[in-house]
């Protein structure tokens, strides 16, 4: 899931009750607006069916999906339970964890600082984080690693933030303090010549978060709240532990495990967990409604509202967003139809046409942490986005689950073409 290279067209679900919200807008309304809404729904029934089929095959407890066009939710689908034991349905108020989709916030924050003259993408990371000089780099000086390489997962750092966990209950979910990451640095190495290729790295975005904190003087989550969430009106988004007034809406999360006899069990892990030092890498919690609002910003859906346009521009200009969405590093060397890496966003070309222009590609990110699996992808040209999330991870059948996830992602892409 996170960082997995997929083609645009080719290459895991519960026995719990399902309910589907009615598609927004009465299809019987004979007006131009209704016709536009009908057009926006093309392919949605197929996707909703695939969404439920994946959930049933993968023993997923609950989840939800929305289709967004011009910043408005035009179709919605909810599945199963936000909390099975409490008999709490997944619905429009359910708050999910979005895992690595958080990386897009961190990338936007870096570009805010760039556009305000606080940094350059070609700045050397070790100038901001001198502790990184302890990491072994057999390809040259660690000073060769730049902010641009962190953003594009091409710096050569390892994938996991915490590579020593082997499932013991006393072990932390993630490192909880910066000093713990620093203590590991002398025992880590750069895996390839920085900038030469793609390799997904969670620590890279922790390091970007550290740079944001040093330049702004704020904790990462405070900076993002002040400079992204608040101006965009994402009032039910937060990081870390759930505030009291939103606790009732927070989804539980679940893990499917198997035994030697082939039997599976689904375990609830509790509604809250500590993402530790990985906040800038995967700390975002929000309902689907906030994610739809975020997609409206990414697609530039101002609806002619000058005040909204000004808020969007204050967060980040369209010109800068387009810059972030340019393909930079192939995730699969030599594959023209495979997912590419931009700066904070994955770029998915149209596999039916070789050499697809960046403006015709899809952009977005996936997430996978603590039982939650999610995806947000959009078509900048049409202003359409699809966003979905599940609250269950399948450790019993990881290969089949992963293959099913990629098939579902391909179905989601069809909605956006």
CATH number for the domain including 225?
3.40.710.10
Sign of CA dihedral 236, 239, 244, 249: positive
148 within domain boundaries: yes
Mean pLDDT, rounded, for 159-175? 76
279 within domain boundaries: yes
| Span 120-149, pLDDT tens digits | 999 999 999 999 999 999 999 999 999 999
Average model confidence (pLDDT) across the chain: 88
C-alpha count within 13 angstroms, C-beta hemisphere, residue 306: 0
**C-alpha to C-alpha distance for 185 and 131, rounded to whole angstroms:** 8
196 within domain boundaries: yes
| Span 263-273, pLDDT tens digits | 899 999 999 99
Number of independent structural domains in the chain: 1
Is the pLDDT at 9 greater than 50? The verdict is no
172 within domain boundaries: yes
| Span 320-338, pLDDT tens digits | 999 999 999 999 988 877 8
Host domain of residue 168: 95-240+275-285+307-324
Indicate the pTM of the whole model: 0.89
Residue 261: what pLDDT?
Answer: 82
The DSSP 8-state label assigned to residue 304 in this structure reads T
| Span 343-384, pLDDT tens digits | 999 999 986 555 555 557 999 999 999 999 999 999 999 999
Is the pLDDT at 12 greater than 60? The verdict is no
Residue 174: what pLDDT?
Answer: 79
352 within domain boundaries: no
Residue 24: what pLDDT?
Answer: 25
Mean pLDDT, rounded, for 379-397? 96
180 within domain boundaries: yes
19 within domain boundaries: no
Spell 372-384 as b/e; 16+ CB within 10 A means b. Answer: bbbbbbbbbeebb
117 within domain boundaries: yes
Q: In what order do the strands lie in the sheet with 284-287?
A: 95-97, 284-287, 238-239
C-alpha count within 13 angstroms, C-beta hemisphere, residue 314: 14
């Amino acid at each position: 899931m996170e960082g997995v290279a997929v083609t645009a067209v080719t290459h895991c679900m519960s026995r719990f009750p399902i309910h589907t919200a009615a598609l927004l807008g009465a299809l019987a309304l004979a007006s131009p607006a209704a016709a536009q809404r009908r057009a926006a729904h093309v392919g949605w029934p197929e996707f909703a069916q695939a969404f439920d089929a994946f959930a049933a095959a993968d023993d997923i407890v609950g989840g939800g999906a929305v289709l967004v066009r011009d910043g408005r939710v035009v179709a919605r689908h909810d599945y199963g339970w936000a909390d099975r034991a409490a008999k709490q349905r997944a619905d429009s108020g359910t708050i999910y964890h979005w895992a690595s989709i958080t990386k897009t916030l961190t990338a936007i924050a870096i570009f805010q600082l760039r556009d305000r003259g606080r940094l350059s993408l070609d700045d050397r990371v070790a100038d901001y984080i001198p502790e990184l000089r302890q990491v072994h780099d057999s390809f040259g000086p660690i000073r060769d690693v730049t902010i641009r390489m962190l953003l594009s997962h091409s710096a050569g750092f390892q994938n996991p933030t915490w590579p020593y966990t082997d499932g013991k209950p006393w072990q932390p979910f993630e490192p909880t303090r910066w000093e713990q990451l620093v203590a590991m640095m002398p025992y880590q190495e750069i895996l390839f010549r920085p900038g030469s290729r793609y390799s997904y790295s969670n620590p890279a975005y922790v390091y970007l978060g550290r740079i944001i904190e040093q330049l702004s003087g704020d904790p990462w989550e405070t900076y993002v709240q002040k400079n992204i969430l608040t101006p965009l009106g994402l009032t039910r988004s937060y990081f870390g532990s759930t505030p009291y007034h939103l606790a009732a809406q927070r989804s539980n999360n679940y893990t499917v495990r198997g035994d030697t006899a082939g039997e599976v069990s689904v375990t609830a892990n509790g509604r809250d967990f500590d993402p530790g030092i990985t906040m800038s890498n995967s700390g975002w919690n929000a309902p689907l409604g906030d994610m739809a609002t975020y997609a409206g910003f990414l697609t530039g859906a101002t609806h002619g509202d000058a005040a909204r346009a000004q808020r969007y521009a204050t967060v980040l200009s369209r010109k800068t967003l387009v810059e972030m969405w340019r393909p930079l590093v192939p995730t699969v060397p030599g594959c023209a139809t495979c997912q590419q890496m931009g700066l904070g966003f994955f770029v998915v070309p149209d596999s039916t046409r070789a050499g697809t222009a960046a403006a015709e590609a899809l952009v977005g990110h996936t997430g996978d942490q603590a039982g939650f699996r999610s995806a947000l992808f959009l078509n900048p040209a049409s202003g359409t986005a699809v966003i979905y999330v599940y609250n269950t991870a399948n450790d019993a059948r990881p290969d089949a689950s992963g293959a099913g996830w990629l098939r579902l992602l391909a179905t989601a892409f069809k909605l956006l073409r």
